[in-house]
Structure 1
Amino acid sequence: MTVRVRDFLPADAEAWVRVRRAALPFMVTTPEQVLRDLADAHPDRRYRLLVAEEDGEVIGTAQAGISHESPKPGQGFCNPYVHPDRRGRGAGSLLLRTGEEHLAGAGASAVYTWVLDEPADRAFAAKRGYAARRPAHFLRLGLTDGSLPPLQDVPSGVELLTAADFEDDPRPLFEADAETTADEPSDVPVEFSDYEDWLATTWRRPGFDHALTTVVTVDGQVAAFSAAQTDGLTRYWSAMTGTRRAFRGRGLAKLAKNTSLHRARAAGYTDAYTGNDADNGPMLAVNRWFGYEICATEVRHVREIG
Structure 2
Amino acid sequence: MTVTVRDLSPDAPDDLEGFARVRRAALPFFLLTPESLAHDLTHMHPDAHYRPFVAVADGEVIGTAQVHLSHESPEPGQGNINVYVHPGHTRRGAGTLLVRAAEEHLAAHGATRLLAWVLDEPGNRAFAERHGYRASRSAHFLRLDLAHGTLPPLQDPPPGVELRTGSDFAADPRPLFELDAETTADEPSDVDTEFTDYEAWLKETWQHPLFSAELTTVALVDGRPAAFSAVRTDGGTRYGTVMTGTARAHRGRGLAKLAKNDSLHRARAAGYTEAITGNDTGNGPMIAINRWFGYEICATEVRHVRELG
The TM tier, using the shorter chain, reads over 0.9
User: Which consecutive aligned stretches of 4+ in structure 1 deviate over 2 angstroms post-superposition?
Assistant: none
Q: Corresponding residue for 1:67? A: 70
Q: 1:200 aligns with which of 198, 203, 214?
A: 203
TM-score under structure 2 length normalisation: 0.98
Q: Which amino acid is 1:23 matched to? A: A
SS in 2 for 1:48: coil
Q: Corresponding residue for 1:149? A: 152
SS in 2 for 1:283: helix
Q: CA deviation at 1:123?
A: 0.2
Q: CA deviation at 1:38?
A: 1.1
Matches of 1:38 and 1:299 in 2, distance apart? Answer: 26
Q: CA deviation at 1:146?
A: 3.8
Q: Corresponding residue for 1:229? A: 232
Q: Return 68-77 or 148-157, whichever deviates more.
A: 148-157
1:215 aligns with 2:211: no
Q: CA deviation at 1:59?
A: 0.3
Matches of 1:174 and 1:31 in 2, distance apart? Answer: 26
Q: Corresponding residue for 2:3? A: 3
Matches of 1:224 and 1:211 in 2, distance apart? Answer: 16
Q: How does 1:285-304 map to 2 (within 5 A)?
A: 285-304=288-307
Q: Which amino acid is 1:141 matched to? A: L
Q: Which amino acid is 1:59 matched to? A: I
Q: Structure 1 residues 110 and 146 mapped into 2: Cα distance closer, same or farther (>3 Å)?
A: closer
Q: Which amino acid is 2:152 matched to? A: P
SS in 1 for 2:52: strand
Q: CA deviation at 1:156?
A: 1.2
Matches of 1:132 and 1:146 in 2, distance apart? Answer: 35
Unaligned runs of 5+ in 1: none
Maintained 8 Å contact 2:182/2:247: yes
1:42 aligns with 2:41: no
Q: Corresponding residue for 1:281? A: 284
1:135 aligns with 2:134: no
Q: Corresponding residue for 1:80? A: 83
Please report the RMSD computed on the Cα atoms of aligned residues, expressed in angstroms.
0.6
Q: 1:91 aligns with which of 83, 90, 94?
A: 94
Sequence identity (%): 68
Q: Corresponding residue for 1:23? A: 26
What per-residue deviation string (whole Å, max 9, x for no partner) do you get for residues 79-110 of structure 1? 11000001010001100110000001000001
Q: Corresponding residue for 2:119? A: 116
1:14 aligns with 2:17: yes
What per-residue deviation string (whole Å, max 9, x for no partner) do you get for residues 117-154 of structure 1? 00000000001100000000000000011411111111
TM-score under structure 1 length normalisation: 0.99
Maintained 8 Å contact 2:149/2:294: no
Q: Which amino acid is 1:3 matched to? A: V
Q: Corresponding residue for 1:189? A: 192
SS in 2 for 1:149: coil
Q: CA deviation at 1:21?
A: 0.3
